[in-house]
Amino acid sequence: MNSRFTAENPAGDTPDNAQVLSSLRNLKEFLYSFNFLKMHAEKSFVISGVPPGTYCRGMSEPGKQYVLYHHHSRLDESGMYYIVNPGHYLENMVLYLPGGTYKADWVDPASGKVINSVTFTHQGGNKDLTAPEHAVDIALRIKRVR
């Protein structure tokens, strides 16, 4: 429930609520694409490529599955809300991954759609991945396939 469900509108039938609920559905589907109970919050696998002023969050089950989310925004004066800083972003990320074959999907968080996907075999160590152009935020899903 959120503040869009009211006595006057118990169904929460508003365009902005539809957008919020759609985003929450996309987030659920994205998270359920992982065995997230085996993951822990961390982003030490990110070696470089996160520009200053970009908020970055990550989770992993090292060697098996990784997720990275970053957004271009800043905290407001109260420190409680993010103010979006839209632009044309294209980051070159360097991640540390153990050897193996992986599938990496760049996902648009707003729509839940995969923007770009690549499968690669890696000998272990640093791996360069370039995020597709995005306006505010992007998510990266990496899963070991072999």
Are 50 and 69 contained in the same domain?
yes
Are 126 and 64 contained in the same domain?
yes
Structural domain for 26, as ranges:
1-32
Average pLDDT of 109-133?
Answer: 95
What is the per-residue pLDDT for 30? 80
Are 11 and 41 contained in the same domain?
no
The residue type at 137: D
Are 11 and 47 contained in the same domain?
no
Are 89 and 55 contained in the same domain?
yes
Cα separation, 77 vs 64, in Å, equals 39
Instruction: Tell me how many domains the chain contains.
Output: 2
What tens digit of pLDDT does each residue of 33-86 get? 888 899 999 999 999 999 888 889 999 999 999 999 999 988 889 988 888 999
Cα separation, 146 vs 97, in Å, equals 13
| Contact between 69 and 137 (Cβ < 8 Å) | yes
